[in-house]
Amino acid sequence: AQRVTQPEKLLSVFKGAPVELKCNYSYSGSPELFWYVQYSRQRLQLLLRHISRESIKGFTADLNKGETSFHLKKPFAQEEDSAMYYCALRGGGSQGNLIFGKGTKLSVKP
Amino acid sequence: DADVTQTPRNRITKTGKRIMLECSQTKGHDRMYWYRQDPGLGLRLIYYSFDVKDINKGEISDGYSVSRQAQAKFSLSLESAIPNQTALYFCATSDSGRVYEQYFGPGTRLTVT
């Protein structure tokens, strides 16, 4: 079965603290994973994809096939990082639709 | 970013009523999607369309229908609304060459009383 699990509904950290948003997946093939973000009063948008291996707004995510994880990390959280974060897996087959996790709300306190 | 628009933005309706949510895009994308978002359940795919003649059911299509009137327009209908269809509905688009990069509309908040 293809599935994305985000175990934390809410994650609260203080400004300047490290943050890690957890994502685990279940997929039989070679996975393609993504993080989407929804800031307050803004639209859901793509944050990063594992293939690009880039850092966006200080966030990075490494695909760990052994642990079937794709955790999102940032060494020093900022208040503007407060948002809803969704991990997504590109499903198999010709459709290749995205399968979203349930989301984690990140709250960065001053 | 007004490339993907949804109307109405908010709607309150009564049980049993038929309601249509509309989505338009100017991005020129061939793929369009309808999702619903519920607290604690994340985003779930209702229907998706690869082009005007290709419409497919998603994870939770029961109680919904769609129409792809043109490449730029994708409508979602609730034939007979029920309270558990109260949710935030999102339309999204993507290019077939970059399926993973979906562009979302602002959402329609639907309340069924």
Taking a contact as any Cβ pair under 8 Å apart, which residues of chain B between 14 and 33 contact chain A?
Answer: 33
B55 touches chain A (CB under 8 A): no
Condensed to tens digits (0 to 9), the pLDDT of residues B63-102 reads 999 999 999 999 999 999 999 999 999 999 999 888 889 9
Q: Do B101 and A101 touch (CB under 8 A)?
A: no
State chain B's mean pLDDT as an integer: 94
Provide the residue-wise pLDDT of chain A in tens; the chain has 110 residues. Answer: 889 999 999 999 999 999 999 999 999 888 899 999 999 989 999 999 887 778 889 999 989 999 999 999 999 999 999 999 999 999 876 677 899 999 999 999 99
Percent of chain A whose pLDDT exceeds 70: 98
DSSP state of A27: -
Rounded Cα distance, B13 and B112, in Å: 5
> Taking CB atoms and an 8 Å cutoff, what residues of chain A touch B92?
44
Task: Tell me, yes or no, if B96 comes closer than 8 A to chain A by beta carbon.
Answer: no
Distances B24 to A89, B61, B81 between C-alpha atoms, Å: 26, 20, 22
Separation between Cα atoms, residue A77 and residue B93, nearest integer Å: 31
Half-sphere exposure of B48 (CA within 13 A, CB side): 24
